[in-house]
A = this chain, B = another copy of it.
Amino acid sequence: MDKERKTDKNNPLSQALKKITYGMYVVTTRKSAKEMSTRDEDYVAAGTISWVSQASFDPPLVTVAIKKNSDLHETIEKSRIFAINIVGKDQKDMLVPFAKETRIEGNNLDGYGFTDGEHTGAPILNDVPAYLECKVLEDITIGDHSIFVAEVLGGDTRNPDAMPLTEWEADMHYGG
C-alpha cells in the first residue's frame, strides 16, 4: 500500500472519500504448485490492505478491493482464494513489511510466522487476533482495483478481547 496517494488534497470529493473508516488487514494467498505443470514452487503473495467489508450474513460474504497489476492481485486471480488476517491494535509494525514485496522463508512470511489455512491453504499469520478464509465467487474490475466478492469458508478469533487496528490509529490512509 502506497502511503502517498496521487489524489488531490484540494478536491472535495477526494476529501470526503478520506472520511470513510477502515481497519487494517494483511491479505494472503497461495496457488499450489501441484495445480500447475509449469512450476515447482507455490505462488504465495501478501499485501497490506484496508478496503474490506462484510457483504452478507447468510451465506457469509465479504468484498475486498485489490490494486490491479500487483502481485497479490495476480495471484488471487490464479488461486481464487485468500485469507484476511485482521491486524490488532498493537501490531502497527506489521503493516510496512507486508506492503513491500512478498518474501517467504520456511514458515516465515515477510518475517512473520504462519501456518497453512485449513480451508484454503492460504498463509494464516500466527500472531493476528483473528482471521478469515475466503473463496472468490465473483470479481468485478471497472477501475484501478478489482472487487472480489468471496464466501467466508472459515475463520477464527484467537483473542476475543483484542481490538483491531483502525486506519485512523495506523496513520496510513488509503483512500481519496
Contact = CB atoms under 8 A, between A and B. Distances in A.
Interface in A53-69: 53-63, 65
A61 to B, nearest CB: 5
Instruction: Give the number of times this chain occurs in the complex, counting copies.
Output: 2
A13 interface: yes
Contact of A55 (B61, B131, B145, B155): B145
B152 A13 contact: yes
Contacts of A62: 17, 20
A142 to B, nearest CB: 6
A96 interface: no
22 contacts: A6-B57, A12-B154, A13-B60, A13-B132, A13-B154, A14-B60, A16-B155, A17-B60, A17-B132, A20-B52, A20-B86, A21-B22, A21-B23, A21-B164, A54-B175, A55-B63, A55-B65, A57-B176, A60-B143, A137-B142, A142-B149, A147-B149
